[in-house]
Amino acid sequence: MITAPPSGTATAAPVYDRASEDVGNIVEFGHVNLRVPDQQLAILFYVMGLGLTRDPYLMVGVDNGWINVGACQFHLPVGKAQVLRGVVGLVMPDLEALRARLTAVTPRLRGTAFAFTHTAWQIDVTCPWGNRLRVHAPDPARFGRITLGMPYVEIDCTPGTARRIARFYAEILAAPAQCGAGGAGGADAGGAFASIPVGLNERLVFRETARESRPYDGHHIQVAVADFSGVHRRLLERGLITEESNQSQYRFQDIIDLDTAAVLATIEHEVRSMRHPMYARALVNRNPDITNDHYAAGHQAAIWRMAPGT
């Protein structure tokens, strides 16, 4: 952002808002991992219904499916169904086309938890096992310059915990967390929240709610951090490391009050370094409007970032 000089004054050197370029220590949001009992139903929902892309290079068998969403992914290993305690926010370029695809797969998903409702500005979708997704049209003011992506993951937390959760991320993960009320990170629900920037266009949002929370079932998210050893040291000092995965990765799951050590929220974080072999891996995203009956050469790939000047 540049601040212009007042009208009629001599031209001065531009003044830049340098803070608007800050990213924070959490430099990448990689994926949301949710186990699914039926890989065929998962492909029917995520690929045919949502119009997303199964990764063509990794996890191409029947035991796991990686689903690309711009620069992020869903990981869907086969197992007992897991349900995120919150909602995953998505951006897609054409909500009317999405509504048509969801309508087309509805008969094949009867008998599951699948459902969707739509308005002019978003579509709320429930997957066959109860995970909630909120799909928005592109909006650079809210989500950055993405036309396809996962701009936020909103996680339920109990009343009175948001500020302490924000402090945990600020002091342990060196992330510039913020607190407020109302919408955040693209979410439209009310209530106090902690918002944690993750990478260029993504956020974790912990939303206070009085709604009864289901027991944590092991689902996880994956992030990458710049200060890999510093975060590890601070977590280890508090006994929060749950897995020493390999040289480039570790895990933790409890977010605690830094004064009392009381657990405020639980969701496993798969933490990677920027030297992890898959850091910033380029993902294949297809254009779901292209079919064998409606085909145009050169238009198979989805454009997941806005063009210059838009």
Q: What is the pLDDT of residues 121-147, one digit of tens each?
A: 899 999 999 999 999 999 999 999 999
| Rounded Cα distance, 232 and 247, in Å | 12
Query: Rounded to 5 degrees, what are φ and ψ at 40?
Result: -65, -45
For the chain, what percent of residues have pLDDT higher than 90?
A: 81
| pLDDT at residue 187, as a whole number | 46
Judge whether residue 308 has pLDDT over 80.
yes
Cβ contact 306:146 at 8 Å: yes
Q: What residue type is 244 in one-letter code?
A: E
Predicted confidence band at 114 (pLDDT cuts at 50, 70, 90)?
very high
Question: Global pTM?
Answer: 0.92
Q: What is the pLDDT of residues 65-100, one digit of tens each?
A: 999 999 999 999 999 999 999 999 999 999 999 999
β strands within the chain, DSSP E: 2-3, 15-16, 26-33, 53-54, 66-69, 72-75, 86-91, 115-118, 122-126, 132-136, 149-157, 178-181, 192-198, 202-208, 220-225, 241-246, 249-256, 263-273
Helices (H) and strands (E) in the chain, counts: 5, 18
| pLDDT at residue 307, as a whole number | 87
| pLDDT at residue 213, as a whole number | 82
Q: Please name the residues in contact with 171: beta carbons below 8 A apart, sequence gap of 6 or more.
A: 234, 258
Q: What is the pLDDT of residues 173-201, one digit of tens each?
A: 999 999 998 765 544 457 899 999 998 89
